[in-house]
A and B are shown apart, each in its own frame.
Chain A
Amino acid sequence: MSNNNNDKPITATKFMKEFHRYQKGSISRRQFLGVTGLGTAMAVMATAMPALLPRTAFAGELGDRLVFSTWPNYHDQANVDQFTKATGVNVHINAFGSNEEMLAKLQAGGTGWDVFVPTNYTIEEYVKLDLIQELDLSKLPNYDAGSNDPKFAGPATVNGKVYAVPKNWGTTGFIVNSKKITSGPKSWKDFFDVTMNAGSGHTILHDYQLTTIGAALCALGHSFNSIDAKELAAAEALLIESKPHLFAITSDYQPGMRSGDGWMSICWNGDATQLKRDIPEMEYVVATDGGEIWTDFYCIPKGAPHLEAAYAFINNFQDPAVQVSDAQVHGYAPTDARALALQPKSLSTDPILHPAAELMSGLEFGAAQTLTDPIRAEVMASFKSA
């Protein structure tokens, strides 16, 4: 999982920068693209109009093109440019807003993707649906299985076969503007209490069933991953009760938090790093009553048109130095011990990237069944349309 972004409230140069990013397909956040299906439009455009892509001087045996579907602002552009320079492969980036949306695209078929970045709990389902390929690890010399903590890397192996290699790991908690909310909420229960009282009108929930329903479930003392109909009904009731007090339902919460309209939001830790970098009063909270811990992976879909380039690309980003350089930009920790050893002190001691072990004890990895559970899907949809 992912995410990111550093928009300052509107300056002309910033907007143009955003716009350029958008043109490259990397802009903005989950919602931004999730809501529009723009990712597909871009993939189609890139396929239909290869002339739009910059030509490089040489096109080696890897071909000249690669389509990479990931989460927004989840990489350091300099590293991508370096890869293009070294291989002649132009990387076309699609940004997606949720695992559900990536799955929807792959199920519909014809994506033209070469590499994409799903989250731990979805991989087994992708294998079941025969949507991703088993990886040929001999083509990924930079990947070192031994240096990856099995806690994070585990889901990559299904039925003894390796289908993915890890990218980053992180947590899902919430962010608080401590100048606006001084009561210091520590749990999801506090989170919803503040939302419906002192902070009314200033809370942001994700437009993403896993985290939003998960947060409500935790607040009610249930598992983040529950698919129990009764528990879900209670979660739905809590969400609907809180709806009039919300500022927004969006996974694109950085602008709202930065503008001062939002005081509190469900938050991924990388976003928290980026927000705190600019606004010191932003405090990231790993809730005491639960939450999510996750790993994102690189995968190759079945029928990827530029297979060799895909391997070269993934291999490039398994290089420990590249992983560290990426992490310094997006604020998510690598899973690779070699990279962890290389990271500067500013990263290794940052509690947002590396929370204390006792704080993480209550966190759960997302469960596969949440991805396809029809009740969860409908709970989210009826909360939104209420």
Chain B
Amino acid sequence: MKEQSKSNRWLTAVLLTPTGLWFAFMLVLPLIVILVFSFGERAPVGGYAGGFTLEHYANLGARLKAFTNTLTYAPVGTLLSLLVAYPLAYYLAIKVNRRYKLILLVLVIVPFWTSLLIRTYAWIYILGGKGLPSILDWIGFEGVRLINTPGAVLMGIVYGYLPLMVFPIYVSLEKLNKSYLEASSDLGASPYKTFMQVTLPLSMPGVATGCMLVFILLMGEFLIPAFLGGGKVFFIGNALVDLFLQSRNWPFGSAISITLVVIMLITVSLYMRMTMRNSKTGVDESLM
């Protein structure tokens, strides 16, 4: 027995090696590089020069606005995406005729086949002076400006991240056993009460996953604020693009990246702790 478990362990180690190497090279190594950079000096012509200093961390306050912007827009954007995505996911998973389900699902995915860049770019025209505002103007609302406002950024966020929110919720609603809904109705609950007491709590894993996905990606977002906020709504992502691609201050950019990673780690571990505590909805499905 002992021999066998030893050789098993060997096999496991061999099989896990590629994954381990991948993990080391793709995740750990870059992180280490960034960490080392964050303590270095900016080379005179830009980039990285060795050394050890904490000045970049001490200087984080210079990007305080970017941090507070990101930490405001990310949760608000996540919440708005959720409010838009849930009814859509619900409709797709529960209400829609089977025959059209696939078509509608594909329609939700199709925009993903084009780069977010192009799609966001289209919104510059739609929200610009010759787009929606000109129609509003025609109706009688003069001088409305949509583009380059916080509202435009939030709209872009909801638009861009919708599928990421829709799909986890859709999946959790789709695999929800329809007999739970019938049972609830059978026991006297109106459709509204059934939704609040059964559908919503049972779809919480999807909601949590969707929110986490969108939130994490929003923390690194730079394209939407640049395009739809006219560069005036500045996220951490924009600060990083600037530092790495324009001013070439790699060490400061690295320090900001590390800070961002730490913020995300804290968020994710809070999320994990929360879902573990509420795991009553997660485990059951397979067992029931």
Do A and B touch (CB < 8 Å)?
A: yes
Residues of A within 8 A of B (CB): 7, 9-10, 15, 18-19, 22, 28, 31-32, 34-38, 98, 100-101, 103-104, 107, 125, 128-129, 201, 204, 207, 209, 243, 246-250, 255-256, 258-261, 372, 374, 377-378, 380-382, 384-386
A to B CB contacts below 8 Å, 9 in the list: A31-B226, A98-B246, A100-B248, A250-B226, A250-B231, A255-B128, A261-B128, A377-B246, A377-B248
CB <8 Å contact, B117 and A255: no
Closest to A246 in B: B232
List chain A residues, Cβ under 8 A from B147. 256, 259, 261
Instruction: Please measure, in the bound complex, the distance between the C-alpha atom of A38 and the C-alpha atom of B241, giving whole angstroms.
Output: 12
Please give 4 more A-B residue pairs, beta carbons under 8 A apart, in addition to A104-B248, A382-B62, A384-B234.
A9-B130, A32-B117, A204-B230, A259-B147
Most chain A beta carbons < 10 A, residue from B125, B147, B222, B223: B125
CB <8 Å contact, B243 and A381: yes
List chain A residues, Cβ under 8 A from B208. none
List chain A residues, Cβ under 8 A from B148. 247-248, 261
CB within 8 Å for A261 and B247 given contacts A32-B121, A36-B223, A385-B63: no
CB <8 Å contact, B118 and A260: no
CB <8 Å contact, B128 and A256: yes
CB <8 Å contact, B248 and A125: no
Instruction: Please measure, in the bound complex, the distance between the C-alpha atom of A104 and the C-alpha atom of B42, giving whole angstroms.
Output: 13
State how many angstroms separate the Cβ of B130 from the closest Cβ of chain A: 4
Closest to B146 in A: A261
Check B57 for interface membership: any CB of A closer than 8 A. no
List chain A residues, Cβ under 8 A from B65. 385-386
CB <8 Å contact, B130 and A10: yes
Closest to A201 in B: B145
List chain A residues, Cβ under 8 A from B126. 10
How many B residues touch A, CB cutoff 8 Å? 42
CB within 8 Å for A372 and B44 given contacts A246-B230, A385-B239: yes
Instruction: Please measure, in the bound complex, the distance between the C-alpha atom of A374 and the C-alpha atom of B45, giving whole angstroms.
Output: 8
The 0/1 profile, CB within 8 Å of A marked 1, for residues 220-238 of chain B is: 0011001100111010001
CB <8 Å contact, B226 and A35: yes
List chain B residues, Cβ under 8 A from A243. 232
A-B contact count (CB 8 A): 134
State how many angstroms separate the Cβ of A127 from the closest Cβ of chain B: 12
A259 in complex: contacting residue of B46, B130, B247, CB < 8 Å:
B130
Closest to A129 in B: B45
Check B254 for interface membership: any CB of A closer than 8 A. no
CB <8 Å contact, B46 and A107: yes
CB <8 Å contact, B244 and A104: yes
The 3 A-B pairs of least Cβ separation, nearest first, read A248-B230, A377-B247, A249-B231
CB <8 Å contact, A374 and B232: no
CB <8 Å contact, A381 and B145: no
CB within 8 Å for A10 and B46 given contacts A100-B245, A248-B148: no
CB <8 Å contact, B230 and A35: no
State how many angstroms separate the Cβ of B145 from the closest Cβ of chain A: 7
The 0/1 profile, CB within 8 Å of A marked 1, for residues 120-146 of chain B is: 011011101111000000000000010
Closest to A108 in B: B47
Check B108 for interface membership: any CB of A closer than 8 A. no
List chain A residues, Cβ under 8 A from B249. 374, 377-378, 381
List chain B residues, Cβ under 8 A from A104. 46, 244-246, 248
Most chain A beta carbons < 10 A, residue from B62, B129, B231: B231
For window 50-101 of B, CB contacts with A under 8 Å fall at 62-63, 65-66
B131 in complex: contacting residue of A9, A248, A249, CB < 8 Å:
A9
Most chain B beta carbons < 10 A, residue from A101, A249, A261, A374: A261
List chain A residues, Cβ under 8 A from B125. 7, 9-10, 15, 255, 259
Closest to B116 in A: A36
Instruction: Please measure, in the bound complex, the distance between the C-alpha atom of A386 and the C-alpha atom of B247, giving whole angstroms.
Output: 16
List chain A residues, Cβ under 8 A from B226. 31, 35, 207, 250
Instruction: Please measure, in the bound complex, the distance between the C-alpha atom of A203 and the C-alpha atom of B220, giving whole angstroms.
Output: 28
Instruction: Please measure, in the bound complex, the distance between the C-alpha atom of A15 and the C-alpha atom of B245, giving whole angstroms.
Output: 28
Instruction: Please measure, in the bound complex, the distance between the C-alpha atom of A36 and the C-alpha atom of B244, giving whole angstroms.
Output: 12
For window 249-286 of B, CB contacts with A under 8 Å fall at 249
List chain A residues, Cβ under 8 A from B227. 35
CB <8 Å contact, A248 and B231: yes
CB <8 Å contact, A384 and B231: yes
A385 in complex: contacting residue of B42, B44, B62, CB < 8 Å:
B62
State how many angstroms separate the Cβ of A239 from the closest Cβ of chain B: 12
